[in-house]
Amino acid sequence: MFWTTLLLLHCVLVLFLILSNRSRSKKEPPLDKGIIPWLGHALEFGRDASKFLTRMKLKHGDIFTVRVAGHYVTVLLDPDSYDAVLQDSVTLDFTRYAQVLMQRIFSLSLPNHNNSTEKALMMRHFQGDSLTCLNSVMEGNLQALLQSETIQDQKNWKQDGLFNFCYSLLFRAGYLTLFGAEQSNHYTDSSAVYKEFRKFDSLLTKMARNMLNPEEKRIAGSVRQQLWSLLSAALPGEKTEDTWLQNYLQHLKDEAVDEEMQKRAMLLQLWATQGNVGPAAFWLLGFLLINPEAMNAVKKEFDSLLLQADSPQGLPFDKLQNTPVFDSVLNETLRLTAAPFITREVLHSKTLCMADGREYDIRKGDRMCLFPYISPQMDPEIHEEPEKFKYDRFLNSNGSEKREFYKGGRRLKYYTMPWGAGKNKCVGQQFAISSIKQLLLMVLTRLDLELCDPASTMPKGNPSRYGFGVLQPEGDMEIRYKLRCTL
């Protein structure tokens, strides 16, 4: 019996290896399976995707296929050819892999999910007059939170890590703005949500890759339950005004999503709306603190705008739109730190036509992946000395926004892509930018803030976060701050 079982296992293993032993056809991209059967390059990919894919690009060029944990992923790193993927909604699908991640990370299943309907809903609430209203509420929440942090002791310095300072303020203000309609002024509640969210966020990449150990699984399950409970308190009542949250929940009900999954979907939206803004603000303010020339340029721009204000407390946000210096600093910050994957499932075999005329066959069942962090964002042919922070990289000599970047003599459509592109471009982009701008304006005009160690340098990004939006730092930068004037 023992030998029979052993023989069967051996046969199954041999059959598995035969079936997984894929070879490259003549018209397909270069194939790199790695030396480990089935697993392929999964470990190296997960440890540091940027380092691994850069190595693959040097070895194979700007398109190649790699084996990752049983999947074959074709990676395209030519920004001139990105539209061949972004504009194909027939053979390439965005939602299937998104459904996989929703289940792994949020224990969420939305089988009737209609991405187009949801996007239309988001656009309705994150553009135009609705965006103006959200910006106003966000400003009030940021001001109240900043006041609560400083008003008790206005003369003495308060110390914190810059990452926690930025993440906490923007997360809590954003939560109160989008989820806190029923919890007016309940800032303690927002702190509890932030505390649990940070635990959840620290495990996010492992959840996405199914790499949690037993203790981490227990913690992840407990934190999810706690967040679902906290977020359920934000559910709007029947008489609530026409808010984004109310309309999103109605959208879920229209898709026949039960109450339990509605709570879980709220955690998904909490991460989608708040998971990247705080880290982005950390990198931006950190770069300014260690680059005096950039800091002075931003302060000068803000001071010029504040001279136009009718009140010493600030100016209406609609007058705070013409900020080319700030915009350049933000674009440069995101060029260096925003590193999402753009992933599509291949529903039908297709021929991918690249901008230079090359054609490659892509197999049904594979995945297509764009990684704009490598190209265009860190491509030395597009951005000189790409590893360096240059606050004026996106400014013309006359101070206007620079939009012309080239590679191989051709002007690029995509020269930085922190918000994605095409039909799946981030709908909340303007709200996120406005939130970061509001925080920076308040910090620079109302606080004295400085590094505890003037010789501090920017920490490195955590390489495990590549593919999941804005990078998070390995370590922090200690700051101290105090109120400059009465808020």
- pLDDT per residue as tens, the chain (487 positions): 544 444 444 433 433 444 456 999 999 999 999 999 999 999 999 999 999 999 999 999 999 999 999 999 999 999 999 999 999 999 999 899 999 999 999 999 998 888 888 888 899 999 999 999 999 999 999 999 998 877 666 678 999 999 999 999 999 999 999 997 545 445 568 999 999 999 999 999 999 999 999 999 999 999 999 999 999 877 766 655 678 888 999 999 999 999 999 999 999 999 999 999 999 999 999 999 999 999 999 999 999 888 876 654 555 566 678 899 999 999 999 999 999 999 999 999 999 999 999 999 999 999 999 999 999 999 999 999 999 999 999 999 999 999 999 999 999 999 999 999 887 789 999 999 999 999 999 999 999 999 999 999 999 999 999 999 999 999 999 999 998 865 4
Distance CA 14, CA 8 (A): 10
Distance CA 144, CA 435 (A): 14
> What does the block give as tokens for 353?
């036509």
Sign, CA torsion 371/377/383/387: negative
* Residue that the structure tokens 């297709």 belong to: 350
pLDDT at 288: 98
**Binding-site positions for substrate:** 104, 110, 276, 367
| 302 close to 332: Cβ distance less than 8 angstroms | no
Distance CA 218, CA 96 (A): 27
| Residue 472 CB partners (closer than 8 Å, separation 6+) | 163, 279, 461, 462, 465
Distance CA 374, CA 79 (A): 10
Closest CA to 127 of 402, 349, 433, 439: 433
> What does the block give as tokens for 453?
């160690």
> What does the block give as tokens for 305?
């705008």
In this structure, which long-range contacts are made by residues 451-458, counting pairs with CB atoms below 8 Å and at least 24 apart in sequence? Answer: 451/289, 451/290, 451/477, 451/478, 451/479, 452/159, 452/478, 452/479, 452/480, 453/478, 456/289, 456/290, 457/290, 458/283, 458/286, 458/287, 458/290, 458/389
Return the number of other C-beta atoms located less than 10 Å from residue 211's C-beta: 14
Q: What is the DSSP letter of 30?
A: P
| 343 close to 97: Cβ distance less than 8 angstroms | yes
| Residue 134 CB partners (closer than 8 Å, separation 6+) | 125, 126, 177, 178, 244, 431
**Binding-site positions for heme:** 426
| 311 close to 373: Cβ distance less than 8 angstroms | no
pLDDT at 307: 81
Distance CA 69, CA 340 (A): 20
Distance CA 373, CA 399 (A): 26
Tell me which amino acid residue 274 is: Q
Left if phi > 0, otherwise alpha if psi is -120 to 50, otherwise beta: which for 73? beta
**Binding-site positions:** 104, 110, 276, 367, 426
Tell me which amino acid residue 446 is: R
Distance CA 447, CA 297 (A): 18
Q: How many CA atoms lie within 13 A of 206 on its CB side?
A: 14
